[in-house]
Amino acid sequence: MDLGLKGQVAVVTGGAGGIGRSICRAFTAEGAAVVVADLANGAAGQRPATDQELRDLGGEALFVPTDVGRYEQAQALAEAAVEAFGRVDILVNNAAWWPVPQTFFWEEQPDDWSKMIDVIMRGSLNCSQAMARQMRSQGSGAIVNVVSDAALKGESRETAYGAAKAAVVGLTRSLAVGLGPSGIRANCVAPGRTMTDQFHARRAEALAAGGETAERYLDREKRALKFYPLRKFGTPEDVANMVLTLSSPVLSGHVTGQIVSVSGGYRIA
């Protein structure tokens, strides 16, 4: 099925690794040109560089080193995208940061709050404004914000993270109302626990340790799965597929201001 994405230009923040890299691949497979915005061009251990991988897949791609929390860098990202490809049709605000390990609220550090707010909330504001200016001049566009079910349900060890993501949910609804008359749609994708490369690495490390460490990890995993009606965690590809759906003018041309969970039913359990 033609999703209407061929020839469009998608800007993906946090696009060099994890969920973002899968989103970039998905756009490339649909014939879109991709602007990869991230601090580094590829996550540790992943080669080739993200933009090169997309070109190897037959796509057009540009990597732009970007700290989304800095307003001037978000503006420069938009300018680089237009200079390279002439337009911006889609923005995916995927960049995020959270401390590892995550802790209870009374143990969280204010410096960590600041970094989460800068990357998640301020980054989404910066990039949305920069790309919306270009989209308004075109009379069309789609913004997809990657949030989290932690913003919708609440998590004891993700208090500030969930709050920052919840702010992006509010931003999305306001963007949908404010930009809708200009032909721009804004929606959210809310993943639950997702099996990224980091997820697999942490799991492998715990299991390799053996003994009580492995047993505790597997026990926590078993208990966590009970909160997922589908009894499985998601994949980066699951999230990427929904991002494509909400970006598509064919599938979602009359959809805006919505939050779609991609979490195996976690939010309703």
Whether residue 19 is contained in a domain is answered as yes
**In CATH, what number is assigned to the domain containing residue 20?**
3.40.50.720
Q: Are the beta carbons of 11 and 77 closer than 8 angstroms?
A: yes
Whether residue 216 is contained in a domain is answered as no
Whether residue 76 is contained in a domain is answered as yes
**Which residues are the active-site residues?**
161
Whether residue 245 is contained in a domain is answered as yes
Whether residue 110 is contained in a domain is answered as yes
Q: Give 62's strand partners.
A: 35
Q: Are the beta carbons of 98 and 18 closer than 8 angstroms?
A: no
State how far the Cα of 80 lies from the Cα of 33, in Å rounded to an integer. Answer: 13
Q: Are the beta carbons of 239 and 189 closer than 8 angstroms?
A: yes
Q: Give 227's strand partners.
A: none
Total domains in the fold of the chain: 1
Domain that holds residue 259: 9-193+235-268
pLDDT tens string, the chain, 269 residues long: the values are 899 999 999 999 999 999 999 999 999 999 999 999 999 887 655 567 999 999 999 999 999 999 999 999 999 999 999 999 999 999 999 999 888 777 888 888 999 999 999 999 999 999 999 999 999 999 999 999 999 988 888 888 889 999 999 999 999 999 999 999 999 999 999 998 877 777 767 777 767 777 887 778 677 778 878 887 889 888 999 999 999 999 999 999 999 999 999 988 877 76
For 57, phi and psi rounded to 5 degrees? -80, 0
Inter-axis angle of helices 159-179 and 123-138, nearest 10: 20
Handedness of CA 77, 125, 198, 263 (dihedral sign): negative
Q: Which residue is it, tokens 């992943």?
A: 46
Q: Give 160's strand partners.
A: none
Tell me, what's the pLDDT at 250? 97
Whether residue 207 is contained in a domain is answered as no
Tokens of 178: 């404010």
**H/E stretch holding 253:** none
Whether residue 228 is contained in a domain is answered as no
What residue spans of the chain are helical by DSSP H? 18-29, 50-56, 71-85, 110-116, 123-138, 150-153, 159-179, 197-209, 211-225, 236-247
State how far the Cα of 146 lies from the Cα of 157, in Å rounded to an integer. Answer: 19
Whether residue 241 is contained in a domain is answered as yes
Tell me, what's the pLDDT at 222? 83
Tell me, what's the pLDDT at 47? 63
